[in-house]
Amino acid sequence: MNNGAYNPYQHAQAQFDQVAELVKLDETTRQLLRQPMREYHFLIPVHMDDGSTKVFRGFRVQHNDARGPAKGGIRFHPQETADTVRALAMWMTWKCAVVDIPLGGGKGGVICDPRSLTDSEQERLCRGWVRQVAKNVGPWNDVPAPDVMTNSKHMLWMLDEFETIHGGRFPGFITGKPVGMGGSLGRTEATGYGVVYTIREALNDQGIDIKNTSASMQGFGNVSQYAARLYQELGGTVISTCCWDNNDSKAYAYVNRNGLDIDQLCSITDLYGGIDKTKAQDLGYEVYPARAWLEQDVDILIPAALENQITKDTVGKISPKVKIIAEGANGPTTPEADEVLKQRGIFVIPDFLANAGGVTCSYFEQVQSNANFYWEKDEVLSKLDIKMTSAFKAVNDLAKRNNLYMRDAAYVISINRVAQAVKMRGWV
């Protein structure tokens, strides 16, 4: 996750500094916004099934809550780092601001590999995480959600522990819950659908018929699966994806020039988005080294797994045919690679805009939970489409008007909104 010299927090700060200079942000506001307001680092002792006790390291970072309660997922990953969590919390602040929802940025994590833990060990880990931060999170100050290698089951255990500690019912404390237990219809599809809503708008803006386009993506978890489904329903063709083989834990690219059969691939995919390579080969998929997803002759690239994927070393492998990159993952493109993409004129839909469908629908879930009134799925997805389309058009219009790169335009909108909030509150 933090590969070699790459530091996602420095990456996030470099992006911020560049735009802070562009909009002539005053020094005090820069200091306030370029780092988290609060961080919690803690140890979680967990009784394991074999009778031993293992100690895990956990984090919760609240970057900024001037516009509303902090909001952000909890990641379980063996290579999780404090700097990754800091960067993601910061990106969440900009993500909530760019789609104009009244939330701030937060993020959490635990250094662990849930694939090596039993369900009961995962439950004790989830409850232990909540016990460490129960006084510092809640429906009105910090609302967690699922992220890498966490899911609705984990969220419900965390909710139950929070409610046990506080002695009441607080379904708005956490989002990504199971439907029927305070979860929102449409939440599962939201991030992937949001990515495709922005792709659809970008293609319309460029006068390109989606039916004449092809795409390659990285990842085959929740985001990728639903992005691929909707993109193909709209007429596009996904020819490649890249993900872990759930037998040897190495990543491979899976290619079918006629288009991926999403249902077929899902039938050989585990809970964490890992595909069984042998079964994929038996189904006729070509299997290549992981980076091949980036090298396909397609119109659209959708990095939708982890950060630090399009780098100065890999950006040169991108096909001249690629017109659009939609960042379904957080921080997939390094600043050095970004400069190359600018020079090549590739239209980049930046991560905190492209993948904001997840937090937007999480906000809808929070609203429904706090009101104890739940919407139908069509209403959720319709509201999501309106929010994502409106946000894309605002960023795209600013980019055109001021001749800005899309990422810079998105940052200008987000940073101005958050800066205005801290100033109106009298913090600076």
Query: Counting beta carbons within 10 angstroms of the beta carbon of residue 52, is it exposed (0 to 12), middle (13 to 18) or buried (19 or more)?
Result: exposed
Residues 6+ apart with CB under 8 A from 213: 203, 236, 237, 298, 299, 300
Q: What is the pLDDT of residue 4?
A: 54
The answer to whether the beta carbons of residues 177 and 152 sit under 8 Å apart is yes
CA distance 310 to 317: 9
Report the pLDDT value the prediction gives residue 1, as an integer from 0 to 100: 46
Q: What is the average pLDDT score of the chain?
A: 95
Please determine, for residue 2, whether its predicted confidence score (pLDDT) is greater than 50. no
Phi, then psi, of 302 in degrees rounded to 5: -125, 90
What three-state secondary structure class fits 42?
A: strand
What pLDDT is recorded for position 307? 81
Count CA atoms closer than 13 A to 207's CA, side-chain side. 0
Q: Which pair of structure tokens corresponds to residue 270?
A: 């585990």
DSSP assignment, residue 267? T
**DSSP code string of 326-361:** E--SSS-B-HHHHHHHHHHT-EEE-HHHHTTHHHHH
Q: Is the pTM of this model over 0.85?
A: yes
Closest Cα partner for 255 from 232, 237, 273?
237
Backbone angles phi, psi at 296, to 5 degrees: -70, 145
Q: How far apart are CA 333 and CA 326, in angstroms?
A: 11
**Angstrom distances, CA of residue 116 to CA of 8, 78, 120, 267:** 26, 10, 12, 22
Residue 3 — very low, low, confident or very high, per pLDDT cuts 50/70/90?
A: very low
Catalogue the active-site residues.
107
Q: Are 72 and 144 in contact (CB under 8 A)?
A: yes
Inter-CA distances, 229 with 79, 261, 267, 408, Å: 30, 9, 14, 30
**How does strand 300-303 pair with strand 286-289?**
unpaired
pLDDT higher than 70, residue 57? yes
59-87 tens-digit pLDDT: 999 999 999 999 999 999 999 999 999 99
Share of the chain above pLDDT 90, in %: 88
pLDDT digits (tens, 9 = 90+) for 167-190: 999 999 999 999 999 999 999 899
The Cα 129–Cα 346 span in angstroms is 42
Answer for the pair 227, 188: CB distance below 8 angstroms, yes or no: no
Name which of 237, 208, 412, 221 is nearest 324 in CA terms.
208
Q: Which domains does the chain have, with CATH numbers?
A: 37-172 (3.40.50.10860), 188-349 (3.40.50.720)
Q: Where is 379: in which H helix or E strand?
A: helix 377-402
C-alpha torsion sign, points 253, 214, 322, 194: negative
Query: Residues 228, 229, 234, CA angle at the centre, nearest 5°?
Result: 95
